[in-house]
């Protein structure tokens, strides 16, 4: 048994490919800082004493995704035409500068909502560039045989970082304050920059440098829209995001306004939610092939909806923790399956454009759902918002069973 386990680890992408290991480590480190940043922002807003704090939290989360919508598709084409290692370094450098500026302003006591909105917008501008660069580099950082495992592991980055970020977030805020959490975030981007700088794999563009930018941009959009199975799954993924995304603002609201608890319970809830997603994605990274991905995707959506629905019926902290763990497992499964299928189905030279458009579409729904759920929580109740989203997720799960199928070696038809 020990020999079998050791063989599994030896054949895992993290063991086999040093540069993939570096990129993965860089992403995890910077994402841990991102989680500190997100928790600090949410807690600063809901603890501000403003009578419209729920609405402000929804608006702030919306501001964070607007740059993805505005610049995402264009950055994808830029990534396909550029050295992806360089675009990762540029994204890390600018995010470090903007977050450090935010920490400095807060230390001086001059931070207000307008400045916070503006700097969050600037930080978010470079997120799509970094994500598209990584997603479109997985095959060159690993191999075709290891791509499914690499994609599943890559999908776990945010959840892995959330586990550590959430667990340590409350401690960080308690010891060094919200401004210290922002400063910590800037350090993580600097560490990520150093690690990515050490990558040696050639990540030069597949597209010829002299090719027309707008021609390549249109070609990418045409490729996505005309490929009905890929486009259908992409739209389903985005719709799923519309009803799952509000969990990011509902968890802080549940802690502060329903349970009247401290930031410690916010960290506990976030940690268990992230741990569920993280553990499933890591387990799936040891599998090179899957069964029928669409049936499994349907099951993950149904589990997410039912777990979310359970939050409507309970106010017990420990039961909420278990429900969030279950919801995290469901999200981890769904994300890993869909991203694995996309990695195998999308042409290599199109991946930068594809993943930037995927990110844009998924994020495009978030401002609307954050503002809608902030409004519903403010004007009706937090529980009503939970009920609406959970029922929608359950209904959406059945759509997965009827959309056109992507044929892939990782998906048994």
Q: Which residue has the higher pLDDT, 241 or 168?
A: 241
Eight-state DSSP code of residue 402: T
Whether 176 maps to a domain, the answer reads yes
Token code pair at residue 151: 């994609």
- Note the pLDDT tens digit of each residue in 124-153: 888 778 877 887 788 788 877 777 677 767
Whether 43 maps to a domain, the answer reads yes
Whether 5 maps to a domain, the answer reads no
Q: What is the pLDDT of residue 196?
A: 92
What residues make up the domain containing 255? 10-201+217-401
Q: What is the pLDDT of residue 408?
A: 60
Q: Tokens 């060094």 belong to which residue?
A: 176
- What's the chain's average pLDDT? 78
**Separation of alpha carbons 56 and 81, rounded Å:** 38
Task: Collapse the DSSP code of 406 into the 3-class scheme (helix H, G, I; strand E, B; otherwise coil) and give the result.
Answer: coil
Are 233 and 338 spatial neighbours (Cβ–Cβ below 8 Å)?
Answer: yes
For the whole model, what pTM was predicted? 0.67
Q: What is the pLDDT of residue 295?
A: 85
Whether 115 maps to a domain, the answer reads yes
- Note the pLDDT tens digit of each residue in 319-352: 988 999 998 888 888 887 877 777 777 777 777 7
The stretch 112-118 carries a mean pLDDT of 79
DSSP symbols for 221-283: HHHHHH-HHHHHHHHHHHHHHHHHTTHHHHHHHIIIIIS---HHHHHHHHHHHHHHHHHHHHH
Q: What is the pLDDT of residue 412?
A: 52
Kindly tell me the number of DSSP H helices and DSSP E strands found in the chain: 18, 0
Whether 224 maps to a domain, the answer reads yes
pLDDT of residue 37 exceeding 80: no
Whether 211 maps to a domain, the answer reads no
Q: What is the pLDDT of residue 166?
A: 62
Q: Which CATH number goes with the domain that contains 95? A: 1.20.1250.20
The residues pairing with 408 across neighbouring beta strands, listed in sequence order, are: 411
Whether 105 maps to a domain, the answer reads yes
Alpha carbon of residue 387 to chain centroid = 23
Q: Which residue has the higher pLDDT, 410 or 303?
A: 303
pLDDT-derived band at 193 (thresholds 50, 70, 90) equals: very high
- Note the pLDDT tens digit of each residue in 347-406: 777 777 777 777 777 777 777 787 788 788 878 888 888 899 999 999 888 988 888 887
**Separation of alpha carbons 4 and 286, rounded Å:** 12
Q: What is the pLDDT of residue 51?
A: 61
Are 166 and 40 spatial neighbours (Cβ–Cβ below 8 Å)?
Answer: no
Q: What is the pLDDT of residue 121?
A: 83
Token code pair at residue 162: 């959330």
What domain count does the chain have? 1
Q: What is the pLDDT of residue 154?
A: 73
Whether 409 maps to a domain, the answer reads no
Return the closest-CA partner of residue 120 out of 160, 171, 64, 168.
64
Are 282 and 156 spatial neighbours (Cβ–Cβ below 8 Å)?
Answer: yes
- Note the pLDDT tens digit of each residue in 207-265: 554 466 667 777 777 887 888 888 888 888 888 888 888 877 788 788 878 888 776 78
User: At how many degrees (to 10) do helices 147-155 and 18-46 cross?
Assistant: 20
């Amino acid at each position: 048994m020990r020999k079998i386990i050791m063989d599994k680890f030896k054949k895992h992408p993290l063991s086999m490919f040093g540069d993939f290991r570096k990129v993965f480590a860089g992403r995890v480190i910077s994402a841990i800082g991102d989680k500190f940043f997100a928790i600090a922002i949410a807690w600063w807003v809901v603890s501000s004493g403003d009578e419209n704090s729920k609405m402000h939290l929804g608006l702030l989360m919306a501001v964070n995704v607007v740059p993805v919508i505005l610049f995402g598709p264009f950055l994808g084409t830029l990534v396909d035409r550029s050295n992806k290692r360089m675009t990762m370094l540029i994204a890390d450098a600018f995010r470090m500068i903007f977050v450090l500026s935010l920490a400095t302003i807060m230390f001086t006591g001059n931070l207000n909502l307008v400045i916070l909105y503006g700097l969050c917008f600037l930080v978010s501008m470079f997120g799509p560039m970094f994500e598209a660069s990584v997603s479109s580099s997985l095959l060159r950082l690993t191999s075709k045989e290891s791509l499914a495992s690499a994609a599943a592991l890559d999908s776990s980055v945010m959840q892995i970082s959330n586990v550590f970020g959430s667990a340590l977030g409350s401690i960080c805020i308690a010891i060094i304050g919200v401004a210290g959490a922002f400063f910590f975030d800037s350090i993580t981007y600097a560490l990520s920059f150093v690690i990515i700088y050490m990558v040696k794999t050639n990540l030069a563009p597949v597209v010829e440098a002299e090719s027309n930018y707008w021609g390549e941009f249109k070609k990418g959009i045409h490729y996505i829209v005309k490929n009905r199975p890929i486009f259908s799954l992409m739209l389903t993924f985005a719709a799923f995001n519309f009803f799952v995304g509000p969990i990011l603002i509902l968890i802080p609201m549940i802690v502060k306004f329903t349970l009247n608890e401290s930031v410690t319970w916010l960290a506990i809830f976030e940690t268990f939610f992230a741990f569920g997603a993280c553990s499933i994605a890591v387990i799936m990274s040891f599998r090179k092939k899957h069964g029928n991905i669409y049936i499994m995707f349907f099951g993950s959506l149904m589990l997410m909806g039912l777990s979310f629905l359970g939050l409507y019926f309970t106010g017990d902290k420990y039961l909420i923790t278990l429900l969030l763990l279950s919801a995290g497992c469901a999200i981890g499964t769904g994300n890993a399956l869909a991203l694995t299928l996309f990695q195998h189905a999308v042409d290599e030279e199109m991946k930068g454009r594809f993943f930037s458009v995927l990110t844009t579409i998924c994020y495009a729904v978030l401002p609307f759902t954050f503002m809608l759920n902030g409004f519903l929580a403010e004007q009706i109740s937090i529980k009503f918002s939970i009920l609406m989203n959970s029922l929608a997720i359950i209904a959406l799960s059945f759509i997965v069973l009827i959309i056109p199928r992507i044929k892939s070696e990782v998906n048994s038809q």
